[in-house]
Amino acid sequence: MAVLSANNTAAVNNSDTCLAGCFLIGIPGLEHLHIWLSILFRTMYVDALAGSGILICVILTQPSLQEPMYIFLSMLVSADILLSTSTMPKALANFRLGSHISFDGCLTQMFFIHFLFVADSAVLLAMAFDRYMAISAPLRYATIFTSTVIGKIVAATLAHSFIIMFPPIFLLKRLHYCRINIITHTFCEHMGIARMSYSEISINVWFGLAAALLSTDLDIILITVSCIYILRAVFHLLS
């Protein structure tokens, strides 16, 4: 009976998943500067919100700016606002007080940070393709980038980001954690959470590499190719 009780206790302990949540300790080694960093980051955050908000309002209210390039720009700015809002308020709380966050809250923050980062990259790729078509095929540009096509690009961007960043939630939930976990960062991210676990995380590592290759890395390559073709088209027009 004692052995059975010990085994049951071990099973319960192994199935515990961050019951006490996580502690975000900010920037390691700069604890004495956290107050000054909070002032700096708060100023940058407010300025970014104000500037981005003004830009979005101008694009939405000016009929002459209702073009694909400016629509993509407003999408990029909106994603940046949401991305900074997903991280900055919690980071400011970390700098002031030190911050505790529930495990589910940490997973939620992780999802939105990575989701918006991937969406940012995809929007930049769409903007690069938009500029290439505007320069290389100006007469067909208006017939190619219709409102329907733009809507499909937006839907594809969101679906692409969701498909890539939704699985990590389940990959992290299957792991086992201590009751109290410390993240040496100002926000929750995939591998930072995975490294807190005492379980095998090789699947998380490989998925993280694959997700990076299929999202931001691939987008960077395609953006570079688009820029090369844009320069080629410009030089062709000048010759």
20 in a structural domain: no
User: Is the residue at 13 inside a domain?
Assistant: no
The answer to the question of residue 233 being in a domain is yes
Q: Is residue 171 part of a domain?
A: yes
How many structural domains are present in the chain? 1
pLDDT of 239 reads 67
Q: State percent of the chain over pLDDT 70.
A: 85
CA distance 91 to 103: 16
Whether residue 126 contacts residue 157, with contact meaning beta carbons closer than 8 Å, is answered with yes
Whether residue 98 is contained in a domain is answered as yes
pTM listed for this prediction: 0.81
pLDDT score at 4: 37
* Grouped pLDDT means (10 residues each) for the chain, 239 residues: 40 44 70 78 89 89 85 90 86 72 84 92 90 84 86 90 90 79 78 82 89 87 89 79
The separation between CA 41 and the C-alpha centre of its own chain, rounded to angstroms, equals: 18
CATH of the domain at 201: 1.20.1070.10
pLDDT tens-digit readout, 73-94: 999 999 989 988 888 887 777 7
Answer whether residue 234 is part of any domain: yes
**Residue type at 24?**
L
Q: Domain range holding 40?
A: 34-238
**Domain contains 6:** no
Q: If we measure between CA atoms, which residue out of 142, 117, 143, 133 comes closest to residue 208?
A: 117
Q: Does residue 3 sit within a domain?
A: no
What pLDDT sits at residue 17? 45
| First vs last C-alpha separation in the chain | 89
| b/e 98-129 (16+ beta carbons within 10 angstroms → b) | ebebebeebbebbbbbbbbbbbbbbbbbbbbb
